[in-house]
Amino acid sequence: MDRVPVKPFRSRDWFADPARSDMTALYLERFMNYGLTPAELRSGRPIIGIAQSGSDLSPCNRIHLELAKRTRDGIRDAGGIAMEFPVHPIFENCRRPTAALDRNLAYLGLVETLYGYPIDAVVLTTGCDKTTPSGIMAASTVDIPAIVLSGGPMLDGWHDGELVGSGTVIWRSRRKLAAGEIDEEEFLNRATDSAPSAGHCNTMGTASTMNAVAEVLGLSLTGCAAIPAPYRERGQMAYETGRRIVDMAYEDLRPSKILTRDSFLNAIRVVSAIGGSSNAQPHIMAMAQHAGVTLYPEDWSDHGYDLPLLVNMQPAGKYLGERFHRAGGVPAVLHELIAGGKLDTSCLTVTGRSIGENIAGRETRDREMIKPFDAPMMERAGFLVLKGNLFDFGIMKTSVISPAFRERYLSTPGAEDRFEARAIVFEGSDDYHHRINDPALDIDEGCILVIRGAGPIGWPGSAEVVNMQPPDALIQRGVLALPTLGDGRQSGTSDSPSILNVSPESAVGGGLSWIRTGDVVRIDLVAGTCDALVEPDEIARRKGEGLPPVPESNTPWEELYREKTGQLAEGGVLDFAVKYRGISAKTPRH
């Protein structure tokens, strides 16, 4: 190969260190046992890792087992040598006590793999919620050239002629079940019909959101995020991604050159415009921390609130992933943000060009799916950051607040967007499920459902439990949602009007630790405040009684996670890990 890399490939230190030819022999020999030749590994071509996130335990990402063949073709054709390896599985729906434990664990494992082996550049295969941020976090820490290949969503789900989307169908069917409109068998049929093919969630849940975020950050090829997993374009995208990462290796185009405060602010705006998941908040904060980019918790309201909802996709809208892709996907949304003056088009991307250059000519032609900036589905539809005596940070996704909810709670004459509610406090989700239908709680339209013990330290891991549905009796009367508040998260596919990701959490002494059932909570969405109307000396007295108990750690990782992980406001990262950045600058010792 006569092509000369901008910087010598780090794999040369393993395979061609003239000072240690004895070690070179050792490093080389075992790769021979599947047919590689010494000449290939010593040719000076870049070794391209394929971080394989798919497996039988990660069904959302399982398509990558197939796609990797096309990725390898691309890598080979462009002059690289592919080496595929597994990353720790993460399956959002199935992992107990929560998949949130695995984001930081997959991160740690991937850092060690990328740093400790002769890998010059990497394809991050993504899909299910946390597989995207964990990969990007690790690539930032190590800082070798990296490109994101999304696996893509499943095909649209249909049931009885109606679109049924991942997750959203569960929340909506639960309400129908509670109202007595469907039985358990129908519930199961609706759920299984929402999953018709390979791929990740087909709603604008956390998976679609985070893959869109990767594309906006400039880490994947243009249009990559939204292509459904079974479409032919997905295989073609895998091939082009494989080709491109080889060039990136030669160009030394690393995450630290791509990820900036401006690219992260673009990502926050896009999450609002697509009606994206509230889980994007901790994940974006976490990726920024590992990239060494300063983001403030308030950036979510300062840059992410006053934006219109543009994408008509569940849970905030009607349609699912296939139509989003056909409507133009992320590049088409970016065109609308440009029209509204809300995109920094100069940010660099993996193509080596700016994001503005990448999307030229990719406007939507489907106005039912992607609305114009000045005629959106909803104005001011982004994220609101709240604070008060109960917490320093909580966030609300306003695009899913239903008209009925707005009418009931946010239309008080003379008190625009302010309301008071009586707290009903639950100690985690088991307590909620046991007691929600207890008539003694006397839950009515004037209540707010509060859940604690659901944060990173309390759960541990932080659970998607804040989207609590009202008692059956209320649902039967047509009250489909009550305000909710909690130190956990909620599913990105949920349409619940919740205040969540509350930090600091109850388990570390945040305000939710002293709130009691019956307290009145005042929420002012204009002022951005949420307070329990409890006198300071009463608060002090309650604090003196100690914190609500949390369950013991059941695994070594749970214990370590609790010891080292921060709060959701800052992304819930392993705090000590943030200082390790750009570690590929030094190759590990022999």
Binding positions for ligand FES, rule: CB under 6 A: 60, 92-93, 128-129, 166, 200-201, 205, 207
CA atoms within a 13 Å half-sphere pointing along the CA-CB vector of 342: 25
Mind giving me the DSSP string for 255-273? HHHH--HHHHHHHHHHHHH
Q: How far is the CB of 33 from ligand FES (least distance, A)?
A: 35
**In terms of DSSP bridges, do strands 520-524 and 418-427 run parallel, antiparallel, or are they unpaired?**
antiparallel
Q: How far is the CB of 92 from Mg ion (least distance, A)?
A: 5
Closer residue to Mg ion, CB minimum distance, 142 or 170: 170
Of ligand FES, Mg ion, none, which one does residue 24 interact with (CB within 5 to 8 Å by kind)? none
The 125-144 site mask, x for binding Mg ion (CB under 5 A), equals ----x---------------
Cα–Cα distance, 428 to 104 (Å, whole number): 22
Cα–Cα distance, 216 to 411 (Å, whole number): 36
Tokens describing residue 77: 């054709």
Q: Which residues contact 189 (CB under 8 A, 6 or more apart)?
A: 159
Tokens describing residue 337: 């943000």
Q: How far is the CB of 312 from ligand FES (least distance, A)?
A: 20
Of ligand FES, Mg ion, none, which one does residue 93 interact with (CB within 5 to 8 Å by kind)? ligand FES
SS3 call for 146:
strand
Q: How far is the CB of 165 from ligand FES (least distance, A)?
A: 10
Q: Which listed residue (113, 125, 141, 206) binds Mg ion by CB under 5 A?
A: 206
Of Mg ion, ligand FES, none, which one does residue 265 interact with (CB within 5 to 8 Å by kind)? none
Q: Which of residues 77-136 bind Mg ion (CB under 5 A)?
A: 92, 129
R_g of the chain computed on alpha carbons: 24
Cα dist from 194 to 127, 132, 160, 162, 212, whole Å: 17, 22, 11, 10, 21
Of Mg ion, ligand FES, none, which one does residue 487 interact with (CB within 5 to 8 Å by kind)? none
Q: How far is the CB of 290 from ligand FES (least distance, A)?
A: 22
Task: Residue 207: name the closest of 342, 118, 121, 321 by CA.
Answer: 321
Closer residue to ligand FES, CB minimum distance, 234 or 243: 234
Of Mg ion, ligand FES, none, which one does residue 456 interact with (CB within 5 to 8 Å by kind)? none
Closer residue to ligand FES, CB minimum distance, 99 or 448: 99
Q: Which residues contact 506 (CB under 8 A, 6 or more apart)?
A: 452, 453, 455, 458, 487, 512, 513, 547, 548
Closer residue to ligand FES, CB minimum distance, 94 or 473: 94
Q: How far is the CB of 404 from ligand FES (least distance, A)?
A: 27
Q: How far is the CB of 431 from ligand FES (least distance, A)?
A: 25
Phi, then psi, of 29 in degrees rounded to 5: -60, -40
Of ligand FES, Mg ion, none, which one does residue 491 interact with (CB within 5 to 8 Å by kind)? Mg ion
Of Mg ion, ligand FES, none, which one does residue 60 interact with (CB within 5 to 8 Å by kind)? ligand FES
Q: How far is the CB of 496 from Mg ion (least distance, A)?
A: 13
Closer residue to Mg ion, CB minimum distance, 467 or 491: 491
According to the binding rule CB under 5 A, does residue 491 interact with Mg ion? yes
- What are the beta bridge partners of residue 503? 393
Cα–Cα distance, 342 to 277 (Å, whole number): 19
Closer residue to ligand FES, CB minimum distance, 12 or 325: 325
According to the binding rule CB under 5 A, does residue 494 interact with Mg ion? no
Closer residue to ligand FES, CB minimum distance, 314 or 503: 314
Q: How many residues bind Mg ion (CB under 5 A)?
A: 4
According to the binding rule CB under 5 A, does residue 208 interact with Mg ion? no
Question: Are 312 and 368 within 8 A, CB to CB?
Answer: yes
Closer residue to ligand FES, CB minimum distance, 88 or 200: 200
Q: CA-based angle 530:532:534, to the nearest 5?
A: 150
What's the count of helices (H) and strands (E) in the chain, helices before strands?
22, 14
Cα–Cα distance, 518 to 499 (Å, whole number): 18
Tokens 């100069």 belong to which residue? 346
Tokens 């659901």 belong to which residue? 454
Cα dist from 146 to 75, 86, 121, 563, whole Å: 13, 16, 6, 30
Q: How far is the CB of 505 from ligand FES (least distance, A)?
A: 24
According to the binding rule CB under 5 A, does residue 301 interact with Mg ion? no
Of ligand FES, Mg ion, none, which one does residue 201 interact with (CB within 5 to 8 Å by kind)? ligand FES
Closer residue to ligand FES, CB minimum distance, 127 or 331: 127
Closer residue to Mg ion, CB minimum distance, 491 or 565: 491
Q: How far is the CB of 58 from ligand FES (least distance, A)?
A: 8
Cα dist from 42 to 25, 82, 154, whole Å: 11, 14, 41
Closer residue to ligand FES, CB minimum distance, 96 or 586: 96
**Binding residues vs Mg ion (CB under 5 A):** 92, 129, 206, 491
